[in-house]
Structure 1
Amino acid sequence: MPLISTKGVYGLAAMYELSRHNDETPMQIKDISANASIPQNYLEQLLSKLRRAELVTSIRGARGGYLLAKKPEDIKIVEILVALEDDIKIVDSKVDNPILDLFFDESKEKMKKIFDLSLSNLDEYQNKYNEFLHYNI
């Protein structure tokens, strides 16, 4: 019972790649796919969902591609996950116990708060990774 499926993981990876793209030109899907190690056909489906959720914009044409619809600091990770997963699920269905239903509902709300970071907050993890590499060389 995964909390976040590959849709959420790959979608978050794609959004992170777009957030790191400093250029104001669109990022082509083949580049997002290569940088984030996401199969291109699957990525197209994910970006379509993210576009419908108004988290990315698409530009057609030879120099087209994808851009974030908002600044990275204005996009919450929970928004990305909910757009792709439809909701953050602790369990797939209601259980036949009102006490456990309340517990799982409360747990879901706490999980949403955990993911209430902006996309730009992922840069902090890049810094932690760099420190890890520095100390382990």
Structure 2
Amino acid sequence: MPLISTKGVYGLAAIYELSKHSDDTPMQIKDISANASIPQNYLEQLLSKLRRADLLISTRGARGGYLLAKSPKEIKIVDILIALEDDIKIVDAKIDNPILNLLFEESKEKTKKIFDLTLADLDKYEGRYNNFLHYNI
């Protein structure tokens, strides 16, 4: 089983799209779905979980949609993943070996630290990607 499932990857992609949305109007689910290449029915489930985790705000109506509940500088990737995956798992079950259980628990904590960056921190990856494109054209 992968460390992060499709649920986590798609949810992170969706909330990243919302973080790039420049104006203060809600972004409609069809636009998030199209921009992030996520099936709309699946996306509705993910956005609902993110809303219940207080990471998103939803509004109803013709001009309704989703907004980030906080600034991109205040939303951590680890919180998004935990909201969607329920936790970050290295293994699915404890085993009868206390040494390996300690190893897996420590690995889980280190993995959480890797993802302890904000949505705003993803801008550095966008810069690296743009530099890559610039030098490889």
Give the alignment of 1:6-17 within 5 angstroms.
6-17=6-17
Q: Secondary structure at the match of 1:66?
A: strand
Cα offset, 1:134, TM superposition: 0.4
Q: Secondary structure at the match of 1:67?
A: strand
Q: Secondary structure at the match of 1:18?
A: helix
Q: Secondary structure at the match of 1:121?
A: helix
Q: Secondary structure at the match of 2:117?
A: coil
State the TM-score, normalizing by the size of structure 2.
Answer: 0.99
State the TM-score, normalizing by the size of structure 1.
Answer: 0.99
**What CA RMSD, in Å, does the superposition of the two structures yield over aligned residues?**
0.4
Residue equivalent to 1:58: 58
Residue equivalent to 1:23: 23
Cα offset, 1:8, TM superposition: 0.3
Residue equivalent to 2:88: 88
Cα offset, 1:112, TM superposition: 0.4
Unaligned runs of 5+ in 2: none
Equivalent-residue separation in structure 1 for 2:76 and 2:53 (angstroms): 12
Equivalent-residue separation in structure 1 for 2:95 and 2:132 (angstroms): 42
Give the alignment of 1:95-134 within 5 angstroms.
95-134=95-134
Q: Deviations over 1:76-118 (max 9, x none)?
A: 0000000000000000110110000000001000000000000
Q: Percent identity, please.
A: 80
